[in-house]
Each structure stands twice: as C-alpha cells, then as structure tokens.
Amino acid sequence: MSKNHFLRSIAENDIKNGKHDYVYTRFPPEPNGYLHLGHAKSICLNFGLANDLNGKCNLRFDDTNPEKEDEEYAESIRQSVEWLGFKWSKLCYASDYYDQLHGFAVELIEKGLAYVDDLNAEQMREYRGTLTEAGKNSPSRARPISENLDLFERMRKGEFDEGQYTLRAKIDMTSPNMTLRDPIIYRIRYAHHYRAGDKWCIYPMYDFTHCISDALEGITHSFCTLEFQDNRALYDWVLSNITIDENLNGEKGKLMPRQIEFGRSNLEFTIASKRKLIQLVKDGHVSGWDDPRLTTLVGLKRRGYTPKSIRDFCAEIGVTKKDSVIEMTVLENAIRHDLEASAKRVFGVLKPLRVVITNYPEGQSETFTVKNHPKDDEMGTREIPFGREIYIDHDDFMLDPPKKFFRLGPGREVRLRYGYAITCNDVIHDDKGDVIELRCTYDPLTAKGQTSDGRRIKGIIHWVSATHALDAEVRVYDRLYTEPNPSAADDFITLLNADSLRVFADAKLEPSLAQGKQEDRYQFERVGYFCFDEKDNSTNKIVMNRTVSLRDTWAKVKR
C-alpha cells in the first residue's frame, strides 16, 4: 500500500461520489528508449493506485512516431514493468488504434473541425505567432470540407511528399494557449513502423492519439507530468468533438477520462534525458543501457537494486505538483533497508594483504560455524575455514595509525571476526617500500569472543583463509557525475566522474560463495552489499558488483 497523495485523494473521491465505479489507469511509455527511475515513479503511481483501489491499469505503448520506436525498447519496457512487480490488465498499443484514429480524424473533417493545410514547416511557424502575439489563420483554413476529405484520403494513399500536407484541428489561432493554435493532428511519414509495418504513411500526433486511446480503453484517470498541463485543453477538445459510442470494454455513454498532472522527480548526480543516455552508450562512456552506474531500471537491476527497494523509494519521494530533486541518499537508504534484512553475510576482501600467523602450526586448519544473518536465525549458518595464512583488507592496516583507528597496526591487536585475536609483530615491505605482508601471532585463548585476561579488544576485522579463498573481480561503483545537477551543464561529458568504476581484480572471497546464486544478495561484512554480475559472472570467473556500501561513520571521522 503506497502513501496518500493528491492523486489518490482525487481517485478515491471520484469513487465515493459515484463519478466512477472503479479506477482505471495506464502507464503509457513511448518505446524509444529504456525505462529509468522517473518512469518507475509513474509505474508505481499508475499500477500502485490501481492495485490499492482494486482497479485496473494498462501498459500502453504510445507508439505514433515510427522513426524513433523499436521492438527492442518495447520488449525491455515490458520486462522492466514485470521486474518491478506489476501486472497489466491489458497490454495495449496506440498503433492498434490507427484505423479508429483515422476514422475520428475523418469525423472532425466532416464536422468542419479539421482541415488539410499546405503550409510548410517554416510558414507554419510564422503563422503560429509567438508567446505574446496571436497567430493568424492559414489560407487553407477556409478549404471546403469535401476538398479536405479528398486531400486527407490522398495523403493516406501516399500521393504526396512528406511535409507537403498536414491535417490540423481547427481551433483558435489567437489562443494564448499555444497548443490550441490549430495543432497538427496527422503528418505524412514514409517510415516503417515496428508494428504497423508499411500500412500507413500518415501518422497521428500525440495530442490526438493519447486522449482517444485513453477513452477507448475506458481509462478514468490519465496521469502525466507537469509539462502537459497546457495540452489538457486540447485533450478535452478532441474528446468532446468526436463520438465514441462504446469503448473497448463494451461500456456505452460518454466516459470522459480526466488528465491530471504531477511533478517529475530528478535524482541528484544523474541524467534521465534519453538523448544524453544514448550519447553515453554510443560513445562508450558506459558499457550499455544496463551499465550499473546508470539509473535505468535495467542498470539498477544489474547493480543489485531490488524491485522492492525501488517501489519503496517511489513511495518515499511522494507525488505532488512540484518538480523535485531527490538526494542520492534516499535511494541508497531504500536499498540498504531492504538488503539489511535479506542479504546473507559473507566475508570478502577487496584489497588483499597477506597475513601469516607465525605461531599457528603449518598445514593445520579449522573451521568456524557462523550465522548467515546476525538477527535472523532462519537464514542458517555456514562454515568458514581458517588457517596459518589469511588475507585481510589493506584498508584495515596502517603503519602509523591515528588514535581512533580500531584496526591493525605494528604492535596492535585486533580480533578476526568469528575467530582469534591476532597481534602484528612484523611488517614486510617490497623493494618500493610498499607493505606486502604482515607477520602476526594469535592468542589461542581468544576464540568465541573471549580473552583470557579480560582485556577488551575493540577492533574487529574481516578476513579470508588464503588457501581456501576464491579469486574474484569485484566492481565498485560511484556516482557517474561530479556535479549534483549534470543536466544543467553546457557539456555534461566534462562532468563525468573518472572514478565512477573501480575494479578490484584480485579480490578474495570466502569459499561458500562458490555455491552462490545469481539472484541472491550478499553483505560483505563491514564493506557493503554485493551481487553477482548478471552478464560477466561465470563458472570460470567470479564477477561481483557492489550495489551500495554500508553506512560508514569511520569514513566521516577520517575527514
């Protein structure tokens, strides 16, 4: 159940007042790109509201521009909607309504409410006027109905060139609302449509198509974003001037869908513009539409975001009439919250530093049985092997540590989580002076959290047995841009974060991960949440992605 918001109130009141018996919404993407977080908000709104109020919701492709659309996009959109956890009542395509749409256009012509215009694009711009000056009527506006009918039919038959003629609604060239200045409702396009094929060479425009599609499907509430507020007048004009005696559900009578607008939400440090996304993909700045740094739904999925976390995020940001900019931490909080409860705990070392425990007998090993989740016993236990040589993370050792560093340093003692306490006696450097190995001793009396003398060991670090460790490549992602609002820049490419992807090619993982499942999520204790990469992980090579880090107050202290 999502939260209350003004659209839900409107829908509920419409039912309470008897205006409608049910709510029927639709999610209407154009199949010209991949879905992103902004679409998720619309999906959760439309499907979520229908679910909550026992109504229906269609997935409808608004596919009236053959030049931009493709089945590849449509397929991905269907998958993303399903992945988010929603089921459509009907799968619809505006392109399935082309015949009916054509009929309604003829009806408008017959009523003297539409005419065929021969103005070219440039002339039309001149006649349209400006924001502050009225437009003037095209000479074609006076064309007789019979001639309009004939010309429109010949447009349909393909007797003219692209751009030679358009069909326009006859409304008001002096309207202060620009969308009402005799909008084009049909244009000539000799383009192959991914579904309709080559049947048509005239294609209906959005404003004409959308309202009629809604009416045909019996939609009660047509939610869209704020920039369509001016278009609402045209939406209503079209529907009040055509005749729909019966909709596709067999309902009779005038059932007017109502368009209501809500504000877009933008996420800081991201770009949703399709044009710019295409540029990133084409120029190789990212690996594809599903690059884990992108906030496309396929990218978020590959990154390890769960459908629930995205639904929760959408509920959290709300629905209002105000465009908003959401901080990244809200999204991160949503996925951390979900994964904290559901992810199995494991040990993974991203930057391995070899540690030899000199007083542990050579060739000996033992296993510790540990919980998969600290609070959820139903998630069971697993065994982790321990031996003379282990790896710890380089970040857990400092040659000259500051006071508050509760980890390893020369002469210091830390606890190996679930294991013994070790003390660092020697530090081995290579020729360049870099630390490459630690020599430590362990205290056999410190298993199970105890110490023999009651001393308190503050530091606890994770580790993995060197002889049992799995090799893996671990990819760690950061924000793609260096600025919170990259879209505002002249050239957003210059704002790309050079460190948005860090690859840890020599990561060492605990052996239980060999039985890991693609769909499972893991918490590398003290590090973050990880998943297997859906494309590059294989039986030969383990590849994992960091979904999000754990909250890190130590990182703040360091700063």
Q: List alpha helices for 321-415, DSSP H.
A: 328-342
Instruction: Give the span between the Cα atoms of 542 and 470, in whole angstroms.
Output: 8
Concerning whether 378 is annotated as a catalytic residue, the answer is no
Tell me the sheet residues that pair with 408: 397
Q: Which of 78, 90, 274, 371 is catalytic?
A: 274
3 state SS of 222? strand
Taking CB atoms within 8 Å and a gap of at least 24, the contacts of 549-558 are 550/336, 550/523, 550/526, 551/336, 557/404
- Which of 15, 22, 52, 68 touches RNA (CB under 7 A)? 68
Residue 104: CB minimum distance to RNA, A? 16
Concerning whether 519 is annotated as a catalytic residue, the answer is no
Please identify, among the stretches 77-85, 289-297, 413-421, 493-501, the one whose residues bind RNA according to the rule CB under 7 A.
413-421
Residue 62: CB minimum distance to RNA, A? 3
Instruction: Give the span between the Cα atoms of 170 and 127, in whole angstroms.
Output: 14
Instruction: Give the span between the Cα atoms of 329 and 314, in whole angstroms.
Output: 13
| Closer residue to RNA, CB minimum distance, 120 or 538 | 120
Instruction: Give the span between the Cα atoms of 533 and 503, in whole angstroms.
Output: 13
DSSP string, 505-525: EEEEE-GGGGG--TT--EEET
Under the binding rule (CB under 7 A), the answer on residue 187 touching RNA is: yes
Q: Quick one: DSSP state of residue 502? A: E
Residue 406: CB minimum distance to RNA, A? 4
Q: Quick one: DSSP state of residue 362? A: T
Q: Which amino acid is at 519?
A: E
Under the binding rule (CB under 7 A), the answer on residue 322 touching RNA is: yes
Under the binding rule (CB under 7 A), the answer on residue 13 touching RNA is: no
Pick out residues in 352-411 that bind RNA (CB under 7 A): 373-375, 404-407
Residue 287: CB minimum distance to RNA, A? 27
- Which of 159, 230, 246, 383 touches RNA (CB under 7 A)? 230
Instruction: Give the span between the Cα atoms of 54 and 220, in whole angstroms.
Output: 13
Please identify, among the stretches 39-47, 129-137, 237-245, 284-292, the one whose residues bind RNA according to the rule CB under 7 A.
129-137
Under the binding rule (CB under 7 A), the answer on residue 191 touching RNA is: no
Number of residues in contact with RNA, rule: CB under 7 A?
A: 89
| Closer residue to RNA, CB minimum distance, 325 or 514 | 325
User: Is the dihedral angle over the CA atoms 355, 361, 363, 368 positive or is it negative?
Assistant: negative
| Closer residue to RNA, CB minimum distance, 179 or 423 | 179
| Closer residue to RNA, CB minimum distance, 329 or 467 | 329
| CA-closest candidate to residue 344, choices 375, 306, 388 | 375
Q: Phi first, then psi: what are they for 203, rounded to 5°?
A: -130, 135
Which two tokens mark 546?
A: 């960091």
Angle at 506 between CA 502 and CA 509, to 5 degrees: 105
Q: Pattern of binders to RNA over 73-102, x per CB under 7 A?
A: ------------------------------
Instruction: Give the span between the Cα atoms of 73 and 402, in whole angstroms.
Output: 53
- Which of 21, 110, 153, 227 touches RNA (CB under 7 A)? 227
Angle at 70 between CA 225 and CA 158, to 5 degrees: 100
Question: 10 Å Cβ neighbour count for 234?
Answer: 24
- Which of 317, 384, 507, 513 touches RNA (CB under 7 A)? 317
Under the binding rule (CB under 7 A), the answer on residue 130 touching RNA is: yes
3 state SS of 277? helix
- Which of 17, 132, 364, 539 touches RNA (CB under 7 A)? 132
Pick out residues in 463-522 that bind RNA (CB under 7 A): none
Pick out residues in 157-186 that bind RNA (CB under 7 A): 162-164, 166, 176-179, 184
Concerning whether 275 is annotated as a catalytic residue, the answer is no
User: Is the dihedral angle over the CA atoms 227, 230, 234, 237 positive or is it negative?
Assistant: positive
| Closer residue to RNA, CB minimum distance, 57 or 421 | 421
HSE of 520, CA atoms in CB hemisphere, 13 A: 15
Residue 390: CB minimum distance to RNA, A? 14
Pick out residues in 102-121 that bind RNA (CB under 7 A): 119-121
Instruction: Give the span between the Cα atoms of 151 and 115, in whole angstroms.
Output: 9
Under the binding rule (CB under 7 A), the answer on residue 309 touching RNA is: no
Under the binding rule (CB under 7 A), the answer on residue 124 touching RNA is: yes
Residue 53: CB minimum distance to RNA, A? 16
- Which of 98, 206, 223, 532 touches RNA (CB under 7 A)? 206
- Which of 257, 299, 318, 516 touches RNA (CB under 7 A)? 318
Residue 432: CB minimum distance to RNA, A? 26
Question: 10 Å Cβ neighbour count for 392?
Answer: 25
Q: Which of 8, 26, 30, 217 is catalytic?
A: 30
| Closer residue to RNA, CB minimum distance, 287 or 333 | 333
Pick out residues in 425-444 that bind RNA (CB under 7 A): none
Residue 75: CB minimum distance to RNA, A? 18
| Closer residue to RNA, CB minimum distance, 210 or 468 | 210
DSSP string, 461-517: E--EETTTPEEEEEEEE--SBSSS-GGGSS-GGGGB-TTSEEEEEEEEE-GGGGG--
| Closer residue to RNA, CB minimum distance, 178 or 489 | 178
3 state SS of 252? strand
Active site residues: 30, 264, 274
